[in-house]
Amino acid sequence: MITKEVTVHKLEYDFCVVGGGMAGICAAVAAARHGAKTVLVQDRPVLGGNASSEIRMWICGAGGKNLKETGILEEIQLENIRYNPAMQYNVWDHLLMNFVQRQENLKLLLNCSCDGVITENDRITAVTAWQLTTQKRFEIKAKYFADCSGDSILRFSGAEYRTGRECKEEFDESYAQDVEDKKTMGNSILIQTKEVNYNRPFEMPPWAHKFEEKGFHRAINVRDNFWWMEYGGELDTIGDAEEIRDELIRIAYGVWNLAKNSRKKYAENVDLEWIGALPGKRENIRYVGDHILVQKDIEAQGKFDDIVAYGGWPFDDHSPKAFYDKGAPTTFHNTPNPFGIPFRALYSKNIENLYFAGRNISCSHIAMSTTRVMATCAIEGQAIGTAAAMGIKYDLSPRGIYEQKIAELQETLMNDDCYIPWHNRTISELTAKAHLQAESEGNVELLRNGIDRNIKDDIQYFAATPGSYIEYHFDKPEKVNEVHIVFDTNLTHKHWPVLDGRIPSLNTGIRRMPCHYPEKGYFNELPEELVKEFAIEIQTGGPDSPWQEIAYEEDNFKRVVRIPVGQKVTAVRLIPEVTWGAEKAHIFAFDLN
């Protein structure tokens, strides 16, 4: 007999992010971009969490005019449109993986499950993890950690946390329970169908649940993702995960049998394309931070001094009985749109180097019912990743960032295209003192007002005729390091799906992967207002000196573009040459740094 011990690979980073959903991706990328040596530990073979091909839930967030979440999330979604216009999930998985892998300063560990936490003096010093594919064990040391796992695996550090539903009295929440309990929202297995030109019969497997047409309590739409097939809220969605999955699969096949064989007129030319094997989770454990976000905070719009993210999804509280509840599958109550989320709800109250983002932030059950959606989680992730990099720079704990550097954190996030309601981005001194003029008519000063999106119906972009110039010039040569541009990607318009030039009525998406299978002929398009081709030119002499082209982009699909200059100039020009279809080029910002 040969016995060999598994080698422990010891790694050391500035920042360790556990969980590769949208929150974890954005946290890791943000930290790495700001100079922190970062590792992202994901226990699945793909990234995206509930948005991945394994679960296929669309990325929801704030609704209403011009409230689409931007920053790293928008960057990813625009790249997905450019390279995955058919919105196929296998391509989406690989796009997310490549987006992370090509980021400098960032190491990705897939199929790697965190199984231990080492804590000393109220600080996490390391986590241990097992990588299934390589059969390697890792011990990962870091200065700061982020739990974006959803399941709050780093709670084993001793971090304070909550489970279940609070009573009305605890936080004076009118939507809460009369009596607190340990119940949660359940998990869902999703279904995707596709329209076909044949009628393939379906025979239900014998182990599936048999549902009868008479008395069935849910409306079936064969084009839906069947999100209401939910179970497990009265169990432990972590500890009973295997039992919950098995029951959900039995429910899924039984529901499809009912749809296909009892409601034939709705499903005659619809085929079963996919049923998930991994449940999507809504709720289990929430950390306790320096602030617990509650219903009244949200109803008051969350106008905190330390706001770093925002939400806008309704209070969306699913019954723990879930599929077996004969009543409505969820209860909706409107929220202000947007409402602010404070930084103090994104780090641990008692573990001094632990951040978190996602459905496990510091909030009540009722508040979690709105903050849990993935677009909201993603911008929380970017906030904590940026904060962690600042912590490395200044040697500050999360609480120290709040106490000493919150204004800088907010400004950095806005410079990285994260919208913070009721705040304007500060314009550089160089931009402010330059003389600005444009060939097209309109209020060119909008380009340096620090507002990088339309605010409801208030237009904040400058509309330029393609081929015309926008120009800064100086009284004397000035050193310009970088040109920073924010283009319009229409943060309200619905760009998916498009069929033969028409947007079908079924469309409810905003740049998100579909909840149903994309049919033949569907493709996604980049926002027509976005500038596709543009040039940057400079002058280094007087007003009669020649213009020098230093950059020309002919396939732009990004909302935020940064062009290095690195020299003294007397003038800088932006020339938007071609849009993705609109008559005018919409530009929110043209800054010099």
> Does residue 104 contact residue 529 with C-beta atoms inside 8 Å?
no
Instruction: Note whether 337 and 411 are same-domain residues.
Output: yes
Q: Which pLDDT score, from 0 to 100, does residue 287 have?
A: 98
Residue that finishes a domain, picked among 415, 443, 458: 415
CA neighbor of 592 nearest in space, from 368, 442, 472, 431:
431
Q: Which pLDDT score, from 0 to 100, does residue 585 have?
A: 98
Instruction: Note whether 26 and 65 are same-domain residues.
Output: yes
CA–CA separation, 312 and 339 (whole Å): 6
SS (H, E, C) 115-137: EEEEEECCEEEEEEEEECCCCEE
Instruction: Note whether 277 and 305 are same-domain residues.
Output: no
Residues 110, 116, 118, 122, CA torsion sign: positive
Does the residue 498 lie in any domain?
Answer: no
Please classify residue 573 by burial: count the beta carbons closer than 10 Å to its beta carbon, then call 0-12 exposed, 13-18 middle and 19+ buried. Answer: buried
> Does residue 101 contact residue 95 with C-beta atoms inside 8 Å?
no
Q: Which tokens is 361 given?
A: 């932030």
Q: Which pLDDT score, from 0 to 100, does residue 223 have?
A: 79
CA–CA separation, 445 and 45 (whole Å): 48
CA neighbor of 592 nearest in space, from 483, 473, 504, 476:
483
Instruction: Note whether 232 and 351 are same-domain residues.
Output: no
Instruction: Note whether 394 and 465 are same-domain residues.
Output: no
Does the residue 501 lie in any domain?
Answer: no
Residue pointed to by tokens 């990325």: 59
Instruction: Note whether 290 and 276 are same-domain residues.
Output: no
The model's pTM is 0.96
Instruction: Note whether 55 and 73 are same-domain residues.
Output: yes
Residue type, 449: N
Q: How many CA atoms lie within 13 A of 392 on its CB side?
A: 21
pLDDT < 50 regions, the chain: 495-509
For the chain, the domain total comes to 3
Does the residue 288 lie in any domain?
Answer: yes
Q: Which tokens is 175 given?
A: 């939507």
Q: Which pLDDT score, from 0 to 100, does residue 508 have?
A: 34
How far the first Cα of the chain sits from its last, in Å, is 66
> Does residue 199 contact residue 291 with C-beta atoms inside 8 Å?
no
Does the residue 380 lie in any domain?
Answer: yes
Instruction: Note whether 374 and 455 are same-domain residues.
Output: no
Q: Which pLDDT score, from 0 to 100, does residue 329 have?
A: 93
How confident is the model over 113-164, as pLDDT tens digits? 999 999 999 999 999 999 999 999 999 999 999 999 999 999 999 999 999 9
Instruction: Note whether 451 and 565 are same-domain residues.
Output: yes
Does the residue 181 lie in any domain?
Answer: no
Concatenating the DSSP letter of every residue in 65-83 gives: TT----THHHHHHHHHHHH
Q: How many residues are given for the chain?
A: 593
Residue that finishes a domain, picked among 391, 415, 439: 415
Residue that finishes a domain, picked among 415, 449, 474: 415
* Cβ count within 10 A of residue 554: 10
| Mean confidence (pLDDT) of the chain | 94
In DSSP terms, which residues pair with 548 in a beta bridge? Answer: 538
φ, ψ (nearest 5 deg) of residue 470:
-125, 130
Does the residue 422 lie in any domain?
Answer: no
Does the residue 2 lie in any domain?
Answer: no
Instruction: Note whether 315 and 392 are same-domain residues.
Output: yes
Domain that holds residue 212: 187-281
Does the residue 499 lie in any domain?
Answer: no
Q: Which tokens is 549 given?
A: 């082209």
CA–CA separation, 153 and 149 (whole Å): 7
- Strand pairing report for 136-147 and 8-18: parallel
Residues 6+ away with beta carbon under 8 Å from 209: 250, 251, 253, 254
- List the CATH number of the domain containing 582: 2.60.120.260
Instruction: Note whether 235 and 294 are same-domain residues.
Output: no
- List the CATH number of the domain containing 122: 3.50.50.60
Q: Which pLDDT score, from 0 to 100, does residue 221 have?
A: 84
Instruction: Note whether 388 and 433 are same-domain residues.
Output: no
CA–CA separation, 70 and 489 (whole Å): 10
